[in-house]
């Protein structure tokens, strides 16, 4: 980061800020690709930038944005969560079943988020305290959660939520989709936690140099477990938001969400080794992926092209990042 603000002269500060921008040119890559993407689709289909579609994209991205916030925090601690998509699915199913039992949306949402929290905490316990690689642990829990979601739902989607819940899922507040507001609030809250609380410091320290962090008195195991638990709870929330969009719990929902979220974090310049990264940049990454997917759909491109485009952008962004790191 630049050291703007400690210089005596304003002009030096401006100079330093400018050179800071130049030095941090890599941060402009994703926003630049985003602008090019938007401009391209707008040129092909003017409705791409219509109010309807902007609301549409905000709605679509809101769920993945929340998953991405969770994935970011885990990655900042040097972890990795492959179970995200499956946790979204099982949470939506549990929420739907609980609503079916109780008729209470509050209980349903609590159960959905709670399910995610439990899976996440279990992931974190095995990673942090038993010391198994997060890749293996979450590969396992990815399968366990998906399997359990299918078992408790008997393999079919459970559409138990009332129309009022799906109306909430498609509602707007001051012209902004409610789900997008929810995900913005979650993002803002987590960004504040990461920036302003000791926990935020511990998160980066645990990822950057776990040994040093441990020596300086940080309970790295607990921090890792907490990061996974937060990620799980956020996936649970995402599952309940998905249910608000579709009206039910789908055991087959959320497939590959984890990879989109991880791709977004990488697009945001965070190394998988942890210790670095910014939440807002990961948000920029997921917004780019959503704008891209939506654009390809609107112009009627085959969805397989989405994979090609995302892959190419990912490798490009990561390569530029690597080039930059080597120079320093």
Partner 1 sequence: MNRRSFLRVAAYGTLAAVTATSLPSIVQAQNAKFHVGVSLPEAQNPFYVALGRSIQQTLEKAGFRVTLLSANADINEQVSNINDLVASKVDAILMSPLDTKGPAAAVQRAHAAGIPIFMTARTLDEQYRNLWKTYVGFDYADVGAKKGKWVAENVKPGKIAMLLGPAGALFAVDQEKGFREAIKNANFQVAWAQNSTQTRENGLKLSEDALVAHRDLVAIYASNDDLALGAAQAVRAAGLSGKVAIIGTNGSPPALAAIHNGDMSATILLDPIGWGRTSAEIVINYLVNKKEPEAHFTPLVAELITQKNAYDNIPPPLRERLGVKPRN
Interface with partner 1 (CB under 8 A) = 45, 47-48, 50, 52-53, 56, 59-60, 96-97, 100-103, 146, 150, 153-160, 166, 170, 242, 245-248, 250-253, 255, 294, 297-300, 302-304
Rounded to whole angstroms, the Cα distance separating 114 from 216 reads 32
Give min distance, CB of 141 to partner 1, in A.
Answer: 17
Looking at beta carbons only, is 60 or 206 nearer to partner 1? 60
Nearest-approach distance from CB 306 to partner 1, in angstroms: 11
Token pair 């040093």 in the structure block, residue: 212
Task: Evaluate the CA torsion angle 69, 71, 72, 73 in order and state its sign.
Answer: positive
Helices (H), the chain: 10-23, 29-44, 51-76, 84-102, 105-125, 134-152, 163-169, 178-196, 198-208, 210-215, 220-246, 257-267, 279-298, 304-327
Nearer Cβ to partner 1 (76/99): 99
CB of 60 to partner 1, least distance (A): 6
SS3 of 66, please? helix
* CB 245, min distance to partner 1, A: 6
CB of 308 to partner 1, least distance (A): 14
231 Cβ neighbours under 8 A, 6+ residues apart:
70, 71, 73, 74, 81, 84, 120
Which of 59/77 has CB closer to partner 1? 59
Closer residue to partner 1 in complex, CB, 175/303: 303
Is 276:205 a contact under the CB 8 Å cutoff?
A: no
Q: Residue 276 Cβ, how far from partner 1 at the closest point, in Å?
A: 32
Alpha helices in 197-303 (DSSP H): 198-208, 210-215, 220-246, 257-267, 279-298
Which CB, 67 or 75, lies closer to partner 1? 67
DSSP state, 103? Answer: -
Smallest distance, partner 1 to C-beta of residue 315, A? 24
Residue with smaller CB distance to partner 1, 159 or 199: 159
State the Cα–Cα distance between residues 75 and 258, nearest whole angstrom. 12
Cβ proximity to partner 1: between 12 and 297 the closer is 297
Q: Is 273 helix (H, G, I), strand (E, B) or coil?
A: coil
Our CB check for partner 1 shows the closer of 97 and 310 to be 97
Min CB(246)–partner 1 separation in Å: 4
**Cβ(232)–Cβ(123) under 8 Å?**
yes
Query: 249 by DSSP, 3-state: which?
Result: strand
With contact defined as beta carbons under 8 Å apart, do 223 and 77 qualify? yes
Reading phi first (left if > 0) and then psi (alpha if -120 to 50, else beta), residue 236 is in alpha
């Amino acid at each position: 980061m630049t050291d703007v603000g400690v210089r005596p002269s304003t002009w030096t500060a401006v100079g330093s800020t400018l050179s800071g921008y130049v030095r941090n040119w890599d941060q402009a890559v994703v926003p630049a690709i985003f602008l090019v993407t938007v401009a391209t689709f707008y040129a092909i289909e003017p409705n791409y930038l219509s109010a309807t579609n902007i609301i549409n994209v905000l709605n679509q991205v809101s769920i993945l944005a929340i998953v991405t916030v969770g994935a970011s925090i885990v990655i900042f601690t040097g972890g990795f969560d492959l179970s995200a998509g499956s946790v979204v699915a099982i949470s939506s199913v549990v929420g739907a079943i609980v609503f079916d039992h109780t008729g209470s949306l509050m209980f349903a949402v609590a159960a959905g988020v709670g399910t995610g929290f439990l899976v996440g905490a279990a992931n974190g316990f095995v990673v942090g305290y038993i010391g198994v690689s997060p890749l293996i642990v979450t590969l396992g829990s990815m399968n366990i959660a998906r399997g359990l979601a299918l078992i408790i739902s008997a393999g079919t989607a459970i559409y138990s939520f009332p129309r009022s819940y799906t109306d909430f899922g498609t509602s707007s507040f001051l012209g902004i989709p409610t789900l997008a507001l929810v995900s913005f609030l979650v993002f803002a809250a987590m960004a504040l936690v990461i920036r302003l609380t000791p926990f935020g410091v511990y998160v980066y320290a645990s990822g950057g140099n776990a040994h040093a962090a441990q020596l300086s008195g940080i309970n790295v195991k607990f921090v890792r477990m907490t990061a996974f638990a937060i990620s799980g709870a956020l996936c649970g929330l995402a599952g309940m938001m998905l249910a608000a969009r579709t009206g039910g719990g789908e055991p087959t929902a959320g497939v590959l969400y984890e990879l989109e979220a991880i791709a977004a974090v990488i697009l945001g310049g965070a190394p998988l080794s942890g210790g670095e990264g910014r939440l807002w940049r990961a948000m920029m990454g997921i917004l780019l992926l959503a704008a891209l997917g939506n654009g390809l759909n609107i112009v009627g491109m085959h969805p397989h092209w989405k994979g090609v485009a995302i892959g190419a952008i990912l490798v490009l962004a990561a390569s530029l990042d690597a080039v930059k790191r080597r120079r320093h």
